[in-house]
Amino acid sequence: MTQLIFATGNAGKMREIRQIMADMPLDIKSMKEAGVTADIVEDGKTFEENALIKARAIHALTGGIVLADDSGLEVDYMDKMPGIYSSRFMGEDTSYDIKNKAIIDALEKAEGEERSARFVCAIAAVLPDGSERVVRATMEGRIGYEIAGQNGFGYDPIFFLPEYGKTSAEISPEEKNEISHRGKALRLMKEELKEALS
């Protein structure tokens, strides 16, 4: 079976990719399971560039199929910040409670449509022959007026989904996977892989 390495150290992301790719003839491994370690500088200017940087770096070490993702939150009122800097925004070690409150404060004067935001996920693949594929998907919403919900992580407690009347930290993980930027991007990548490997 062809090996696919997903360049992440995140157990939640591994669970999601295994679920979505379950019917593909692929032996899916995390970097740890594949015995790969790498210190990669993500200095791209876009989600796509950063995902490609990671996938290329690991592919150079392992060959086979390598997937990598990059994601973040774009807040329109903040000129699409924090964007690719989502985990580094206000400092890597600053709690999300503080980051989330700062975003709510920055939008103090924003009303309705002005509070639009989206989670973005780009996934890059480098295939055994060295060819590359990149997909992108989003989950659209608005920045809420207060922090709400215990599920999810990061910016989920301020990401309000108008069609649910809840934040993405208040819906179940299964509901989130159905509509999330990462779930959608993984399903798009699965179609790319089906085509590439047929």
Q: Which residues are catalytic?
A: 70
Output the smallest distance, CB 26 to ligand IMP, in A.
21
Write out the binding residues for ligand IMP, residues 82-141 only, by CB under 6 A.
Answer: 86-87, 119
Q: Are 149 and 97 in contact (CB under 8 A)?
A: no
Tokens of 19: 């679920």
Binding residue for ligand IMP, selected from 71, 100, 167, 177, defined by CB under 6 A = 71
Could you say whether residue 69 binds ligand IMP (CB under 6 A)?
Answer: yes
Closest to ligand IMP by CB, 62 vs 86, is 86
Report the relative pairing of strands 26-30 and 2-6 from DSSP bridges: parallel
Selected range binding ligand IMP among 58-66, 103-111, 150-158, 185-193, rule: CB under 6 A? 150-158
Could you say whether residue 46 binds ligand IMP (CB under 6 A)?
Answer: no
Could you say whether residue 156 binds ligand IMP (CB under 6 A)?
Answer: yes
Output the smallest distance, CB 168 to ligand IMP, in A.
6
Closest to ligand IMP by CB, 62 vs 177, is 177
Binding residue for ligand IMP, selected from 17, 103, 155, 190, defined by CB under 6 A = 155
Could you say whether residue 144 binds ligand IMP (CB under 6 A)?
Answer: no
Three-state SS for the chain is CEEEEECCCCHHHHHHHHHHCCCCCEEEEECCCCCCCCCCCCCCCCHHHHHHHHHHHHHHHHCCEEEEEEEEEEEHHHCCEEHHHCCCCCCCCCCHHHHHHHHHHHCCCCCHHHHEEEEEEEEEEECCCCCEEEEEEEEEEEECCCCCCCCCCCCHHHEEECCCCEECCCCCHHHHHHHCHHHHHHHHHHHHHHHHHC
Could you say whether residue 70 binds ligand IMP (CB under 6 A)?
Answer: yes
Closest to ligand IMP by CB, 188 vs 196, is 188
Binding site residues, ligand IMP, CB under 6 A: 69-73, 86-87, 119, 152-156, 180
